[in-house]
Amino acid sequence: MFTIRDDVRFSETDMMGVVYHPNYLHWMEMGRIDYLKRCGVTLNELMADGILFPITEVSTQYKNSLTLGDSYEVQTTMSGLNKAKMEYTYKIIRLRDGAVAVEGYTRNLFTDTQGKIKRLPDHWFKKINDVYQQEEKKHE
């Protein structure tokens, strides 16, 4: 699991002062990108290699609200990986009291630039899988 922390901005809230629900998906994306960076992989490198990874499934369970100024943590865990897809689970935690604000899940497929499913080349898979396997061992 990797974590990132930030504070809720005014632009992320609605007229009631609570986080507008799609923003949690943005924060999950931030966690996913951070996870890949920690694997030594950037989006620009993948895209330059003709590899895209669109989301094919997403789910969120909203449990507690975040409000303007709240500090939060996005906990990102890779929950599945093969050469055709990667899956992540997320928890977004309100730091002032440790409450879980959102739990989520995403699945990404690897595709070429035309949208056809593409197997991730070995050199990219190894970078991601090495970190994934280390994380899995922590949970055994």
| Domain-embedded: residue 84 | yes
Q: Structure pTM?
A: 0.91
Residue at 71 is within a domain: yes
Evaluate whether residue 139 is within a structural domain: no
What's the burial of 99, exposed, middle or buried (CB within 10 Å: 0-12/13-18/19+)? middle
Report the alpha-carbon distance of residue 48 to residue 121 in Å, rounded: 13
In this prediction, residue 74 carries a pLDDT of 98
Question: Is residue 133 one of the residues assigned to a domain?
Answer: no
pLDDT in tens, 8-61: 999 999 999 999 999 999 999 999 999 999 999 998 999 999 999 999 999 999
What is the tens place of the pLDDT at every residue in 91-138?
999 999 999 999 999 999 999 999 999 999 999 999 999 999 988 777
Q: How many domains does the chain have?
A: 1
b vs e for 43-74, b when ≥16 Cβ sit within 10 Å of the residue's Cβ? eeebeeeebbbeeeeeebeeeebbeeebebbb
Domain range spanning residue 75?
Answer: 2-125
Cβ atoms of 105 and 79 within 8 Å: the answer is: yes
Q: 3-state class of 70 per DSSP?
A: coil
Domain membership of residue 140 (yes or no) is no
> What CATH code is carried by the domain that includes residue 25?
3.10.129.10
State the catalytic residues: 14
